[in-house]
Amino acid sequence: MQKCFFKSCSNPVTSDTWRCDFHRGRDRCTVENCFSQAYARGLCARHGGKRMCQSPGCPHRVRVANFCSKHGVKKAKNRCLEPGCDLPAQSHQLCVRHGGSRRCKWTNCTAYARKGGFCARHTTQQMKEESKRLEETVQALWPADEPMANVDFELPNEDPMYTDILNILLTM
């Protein structure tokens, strides 16, 4: 079985061609003994198919607006609006030190909120309590003459849909 023409491609060639299905729409570099795919003007990146970064002395290829990813336009990170503060803004254009974050909703907890208004420690605690309330609600609504078969009341931490369902059930 013959392998694809392009270097580092181990896929088998398709019938009556010199390349695999993945490379079927790509041409090869026109430079002799080069096994790379062509990008522009029949040339691969190494032989001039991609332009070089315009930053003096940079050996990397262009990504955006004539510059490589290292020298291209970078989005400025927002800074805290408090005069004299150079820390990155988190929320409401303020850093954590100047009120740009929320505290955990758990009573007497001084940690910063991470997910759902709770800190890392109390997010799991909150999920356990919500799971317990869900179990109590389902048991209260379950018909008395039907057995509850293998109902899992543990809520996955990652899916907000379960929290929405829980809130709907609790408001019934």
Whether the predicted pLDDT of 149 surpasses 70: no
pLDDT tens by residue, 24-56: 778 888 999 888 888 888 888 888 888 888 989
Whether the predicted pLDDT of 158 surpasses 70: no
Whether the predicted pLDDT of 63 surpasses 70: yes
Q: Show the 3-state SS of 58-124.
A: CCCECCECCECCCCCCCCCCCECCCCCCCCECCECCECCCCCCCCECCCCCCCCECCECCECHHHHH
Structure tokens at 74: 């970078």
Domain ranges for the chain: 1-74, 120-170
3 Cβ partners below 8 Å, 6+ apart? 9, 10, 11, 12, 13
Instruction: Look at residue 6 in the predicted model and tell me its pLDDT.
Output: 75
Q: Which of 9-23, 58-72, 85-99, 151-165 is predicted with the least confidence, judged by mean pLDDT? A: 151-165
